[in-house]
A and B are shown apart, each in its own frame.
Chain A
Amino acid sequence: MSYLLKRVAFYVFTAWAAITLNFFIPRVMPGDPVQSLITRSRGQMTGDAVQSLYVLFGLDPNESLLSQYVKYWGQLFRGDLGLSFTFFPSQVGEVIGQALPWTMALVGITTVIGFLIGTTLGTLAGWRRGSWIDALIPVTTFLSSIPYFWLGLIAIALLTGPDSFFPAGNGYDTGLTPAWDWEFIGSAVQHSLLPAITILISSMAGWILSMRNMMVTVASEDYVTVAHAKGLPERRVMVGYAARNALLPNVSGFALSLGFIVGGTLLVEIVFSYPGLGFLLFQGVGTKDYPLLQGIFLIITLSVLLANFVADLAYMLLDPRTRREG
């Protein structure tokens, strides 16, 4: 239990650090971003929006940094992330809320599937060194060196077209209205296939390699030799004895590299014009929509923290040592 409490404390601390970082980034940057924003919006902004911007960026000259910080937290607790310029006059929270489910579905599912397939292949490659699966490793290395987004571009160029099964962009058929019926879900799945395959291909290689290397290390442990000596079937030794232990570092590695993976997968959304957070981020960068960018950063960080916590729970289930303590 103490392990779990420690992890929770760590995540709360990290969330606080991320929010504070978010608070300070615009404040330590040179120049007056609000002024440049006001000139760019050509008077489309209301006084309220300008005021909220000054609070967000902390450029209100009459206030101390501390009271700004308190105010910022107040805004956050009310779910107020400011107004978006790109989708003026929508709230940032609203805009993100519409994009979040798409990203959750695409990135969440593909990351987990990629981890599972990669780990399975890595187990086989490490167990049967020198077999054909081992020869896969240089190939997957090359594939993982390709940026996710470029692989997406190639996939679009090769596989989509007027007659192709795969659509080139968007999250669903633009003729449909989002609803929970079969037609819409089918269309959404069809549109997400190509981005999903892209993410799978580029994210799998890392898992294959790390799992293979762990398997190679574990295979020479005494308990594996003993399991062989007992005459257990090959497959049982591989899965129940070697892989089970080799999996542990891979699970904690999964938790730690989530941040990197999510960053890469967001780009796939950009290439496929998929209506998720990545595409929103792209639009935000194009229009210098700082409140939107900051909101997205916050939401991504919090989701990654949550996913990390889930991975920690999985680790606890797999490794009895963490449960026994305390």
Chain B
Amino acid sequence: MATPSVVDATPVAAVPVKAKRRRLRFIASPKAAIGLGMMAFFVILAIIGPFIAPYDPSERSNALVEAPSAAHWLGTTHLGQDVFSQLVSGTRSVILVGLLAGVIATILSLLVGVTSGYLSGAGAESLSALSNVFLVIPALPLIIIITSILPETTDVTIALVIGLTSWAWGARVLRAQTLSLRRRDYVEAARATGEKTWRIIIFEIMPNLTAVIASNFIGTVIFAVTSEITLAFIGVNTSGDNWNWGTILFWAQGQQALAQGAWWWFVPAGLAIALLGTALSLLNFGIDEFVSPRLRGNGKSKVKTVDGHTVRMRVGFTPVLGFGRKDDTL
């Protein structure tokens, strides 16, 4: 932060240079950059995971509940399956369900939120009431019930159920934002020039919702990932070769991995979940701080005044540092 002022001080800066627009400002925030990097790692792992896994995740062997070794990096399960392979191949299911459910929920919340925010009347009111109802009903128990009554479940059906039940929060946020946008001058101007309603919504309102939509999408992905893992952990969708991180924990819990001291069985999967969650949260912070600079934590918050007092900087406060000295022009 200190470098630009040095550059400005040199006489060269007096030559008018066309200001460069920093296109990748978003990545400049360390939080967002780290989050993006971690997320890229997980997505790549989701794509190539099943190919680079050293063993078939369901393949049994004679090495039962063995501690990590060169042959099995993260040890084995009660059936001699390789935990590392399960973890690596399970990434695909986790990322797939997370992203798919996120997309479904985001589309739904856009439809409901923007419509109920922009249009007025009974229809818009009832849409808003509908999203409030879905918001109050506890989502996880609902998802558990629906998926356990379904005769058979795949990753896609799980993603569908999660996406269809978790759009309400986004709809509410988007509605509030649309409500505040729709009386702005530029929207009124567009309306006055006879622009069509759908055009106003898509070209005038939507671009200003981008950050909200993005942070919403990420929030839904976090929720979808934890929901899927939770479902697998309590025994929904654990049959067959369908591996995800929750399935590993389901078997670890069912086979008393804790009592056997088999830490390698449940620690890596949990850490993977926490890392993915942290990556997504960091991305979200990055977006929040990008949109509202006030939230950025600023490095130095204490300033020493001339008379020796330390003053804490606060937003909206202008410290007068040169107080008491006549020769100081500050």
Interchain nearest-CB distance for A23 vs B (Å): 12
Contacts A146-B277, A225-B316, A290-B149 known; A260 to B136 CB distance under 8 Å? no
Interchain nearest-CB distance for A207 vs B (Å): 15
Interchain nearest-CB distance for A153 vs B (Å): 6
Contacts A147-B270, A213-B295, A219-B314 known; A25 to B149 CB distance under 8 Å? yes
**Chain B residues near A270 (CB-CB < 8 A):** 234
Q: Which residues, 131 to 154 on A, are CB-close (under 8 Å) to B?
A: 131, 134, 141-142, 144-147, 149-151, 153-154
Q: Which residue of A lies closest to B269 (CB)?
A: A150
A31 within 8 Å of B (CB atoms):
yes
Partner-contacting stretch, out of B16-24, B99-107, B140-148, B195-203: B140-148
Contact of B297 among A130, A157, A266, A305 (CB under 8 A): A130
Decide if A153 touches B315 in the complex (CB within 8 Å): no
Contact of B317 among A21, A225, A286 (CB under 8 A): A225
Interchain nearest-CB distance for B11 vs A (Å): 35
| In the complex, per-residue mask of B77-121: 1 if CB is within 8 Å of any chain A CB, else 0 | 000000000000000000000000000000000000000000000
Interchain nearest-CB distance for B129 vs A (Å): 7
| In the complex, per-residue mask of A18-55: 1 if CB is within 8 Å of any chain B CB, else 0 | 10010001100111010000000000000000000000
B267 within 8 Å of A (CB atoms):
yes
**Cα(A262)–Cα(B136), bound, Å:** 11
**Cα(A151)–Cα(B230), bound, Å:** 13
**Cα(A18)–Cα(B273), bound, Å:** 31
Decide if B151 touches A297 in the complex (CB within 8 Å): no
**Cα(A14)–Cα(B130), bound, Å:** 9
**Cα(A134)–Cα(B139), bound, Å:** 31
Decide if B267 touches A128 in the complex (CB within 8 Å): no
**Cα(A47)–Cα(B233), bound, Å:** 35
Decide if B148 touches A285 in the complex (CB within 8 Å): yes
Partner-contacting stretch, out of B55-63, B210-218, B298-306: B298-306
**Chain A residues near B309 (CB-CB < 8 A):** none
Q: Which residues, 254 to 271 on B, are CB-close (under 8 Å) to A?
A: 258, 263, 266-267, 269-270
A100 within 8 Å of B (CB atoms):
no
**Cα(A264)–Cα(B317), bound, Å:** 41
Contacts A147-B226, A147-B229, A266-B141 known; A31 to B151 CB distance under 8 Å? yes
**Chain B residues near A93 (CB-CB < 8 A):** none
B274 within 8 Å of A (CB atoms):
yes
Contacts A260-B138, A281-B141, A304-B138 known; A154 to B270 CB distance under 8 Å? yes
Q: Which residue of B lies closest to A157 (CB)?
A: B258
**Chain B residues near A62 (CB-CB < 8 A):** none
Decide if A129 touches B236 in the complex (CB within 8 Å): no
Decide if B266 touches A150 in the complex (CB within 8 Å): yes
Q: Which residue of A lies closest to B314 (CB)?
A: A219
**Chain B residues near A13 (CB-CB < 8 A):** 129, 133
Decide if A286 touches B235 in the complex (CB within 8 Å): yes
**Chain B residues near A216 (CB-CB < 8 A):** 294-295, 315
Decide if A219 touches B150 in the complex (CB within 8 Å): no
**Chain A residues near B234 (CB-CB < 8 A):** 267, 270, 281-282, 285
A87 within 8 Å of B (CB atoms):
no
Q: Which residue of A lies closest to B281 (CB)?
A: A141
Interchain nearest-CB distance for A118 vs B (Å): 16
A296 within 8 Å of B (CB atoms):
yes
Number of interface residues of A (CB under 8 A): 66
| In the complex, per-residue mask of A220-259: 1 if CB is within 8 Å of any chain B CB, else 0 | 1100110010000000000000000000000000001011
**Chain A residues near B266 (CB-CB < 8 A):** 150, 153, 157
| In the complex, per-residue mask of B141-169: 1 if CB is within 8 Å of any chain A CB, else 0 | 11011101111000000000000000001
Query: Which of the listed residues B139, B148, B266, B315 has the most CB atoms from chain A within 10 Å of its own CB?
Result: B315
B9 within 8 Å of A (CB atoms):
no
A293 within 8 Å of B (CB atoms):
yes
Q: Which residue of A lies closest to B227 (CB)?
A: A263
Decide if A267 touches B230 in the complex (CB within 8 Å): yes
**Cα(A219)–Cα(B302), bound, Å:** 16
Interchain nearest-CB distance for A10 vs B (Å): 7
A86 within 8 Å of B (CB atoms):
no
B132 within 8 Å of A (CB atoms):
yes
B191 within 8 Å of A (CB atoms):
no
Q: Which residue of A lies closest to B275 (CB)?
A: A145
**Chain B residues near A142 (CB-CB < 8 A):** 274, 278
Decide if B258 touches A146 in the complex (CB within 8 Å): no
| In the complex, per-residue mask of A262-286: 1 if CB is within 8 Å of any chain B CB, else 0 | 1110110011000000000110011
Decide if B316 touches A129 in the complex (CB within 8 Å): no
Q: Which residue of A lies closest to B261 (CB)?
A: A157
**Chain A residues near B230 (CB-CB < 8 A):** 147, 149, 267
Q: Which residues, 195 to 231 on A, are CB-close (under 8 Å) to B?
A: 213, 216-217, 219-221, 224-225, 228
Decide if A29 touches B315 in the complex (CB within 8 Å): no
B43 within 8 Å of A (CB atoms):
no
Decide if B149 touches A146 in the complex (CB within 8 Å): no
Decide if B277 touches A14 in the complex (CB within 8 Å): no
Query: Which of the listed residues A130, A150, A267, A305 has the most CB atoms from chain B within 10 Å of its own CB?
Result: A150
**Interface residue ranges, B against A (CB under 8 Å):** 129, 132-133, 135-142, 144-146, 148-151, 169, 172, 222-223, 226, 229-230, 233-236, 249, 253, 258, 263, 266-267, 269-270, 273-278, 280-282, 285, 288, 294-295, 297-302, 312, 314-317
Q: Could you write out 23 A-B pairs with CB less than 8 Å apart?
A: A10-B132, A25-B145, A29-B149, A33-B149, A131-B301, A141-B285, A144-B277, A144-B281, A145-B280, A146-B270, A147-B233, A147-B270, A147-B273, A149-B249, A153-B253, A154-B270, A225-B316, A260-B139, A262-B141, A263-B139, A263-B140, A264-B226, A304-B138
Instruction: Kindly list 18 other residue pairs between chains A and B, CB separation below 8 angstroms, not including A150-B269, A225-B317.
Output: A25-B146, A29-B149, A30-B151, A31-B151, A129-B298, A141-B278, A146-B270, A149-B233, A219-B316, A220-B315, A228-B317, A267-B233, A267-B234, A285-B235, A290-B148, A293-B148, A294-B145, A296-B141
